[in-house]
Amino acid sequence: GENVEQHPSTLSVQEGDSAVIKCTYSDSASNYFPWYKQELGKGPQLIIDIRSNVGEKKDQRIAVTLNKTAKHFSLHITETQPEDSAVYFCAAGGRFGNEKLTFGTGTRLTIIP
């Protein structure tokens, strides 16, 4: 089955600086890679996703890059703000005929004012 590794597990960034979280996956058939933000006591919220036919996708301060050859994808948050503090999860899925997502272990991002 799919295996997703996520690094780092914790990340502290000065407000205004950029944050980068990286994930690797094992199943070359995966073709859908979403990123979720989870605040304490709440369910995950989709913040951006990318399909395998695209190398990069951007939405305001958030961007995701995908390297299918190396089987890794990254989340980039620029101009970080205190409200960006949360736990972020990457996931991989979209294997033909399989709707499941496999999640990474999470990154606790803290923005230092």
Partner 1 sequence: GAVVSQHPSWVICKSGTSVKIECRSLDFQATTMFWYRQFPKQSLMLMATSNEGSKATYEQGVEKDKFLINHASLTLSTLTVTSAHPEDSSFYICSARGGGGSNFYEQYFGPGTRLTVT
Q: Which residues bind partner 1 (CB under 8 A)?
A: 32, 34, 36, 41-46, 49, 51, 89, 93-94, 99-106
Tell me how far, at minimum, the Cβ of 79 lies from partner 1, in Å.
Answer: 26
Tell me how far, at minimum, the Cβ of 38 lies from partner 1, in Å.
Answer: 9
Tell me how far, at minimum, the Cβ of 81 lies from partner 1, in Å.
Answer: 23
Q: Which is nearer to partner 1, 19 or 104 (CB)?
A: 104
Q: Using an 8 Å Cβ cutoff, are 105 and 9 in contact?
A: yes
Token pair 């033909």 is found at 96
Q: Which is nearer to partner 1, 78 or 108 (CB)?
A: 108
Sheet of 19-25, strand order = 4-7, 19-25, 72-77, 62-67, 56-59
**What CA–CA distance (Å, rounded) separates 85 from 21?**
13
Q: Which is nearer to partner 1, 7 or 14 (CB)?
A: 7
**What CA–CA distance (Å, rounded) separates 58 from 93?**
20
Tell me how far, at minimum, the Cβ of 70 lies from partner 1, in Å.
Answer: 21
Q: How many residues make up the chain in this entry?
A: 113
Q: Which is nearer to partner 1, 41 or 113 (CB)?
A: 41
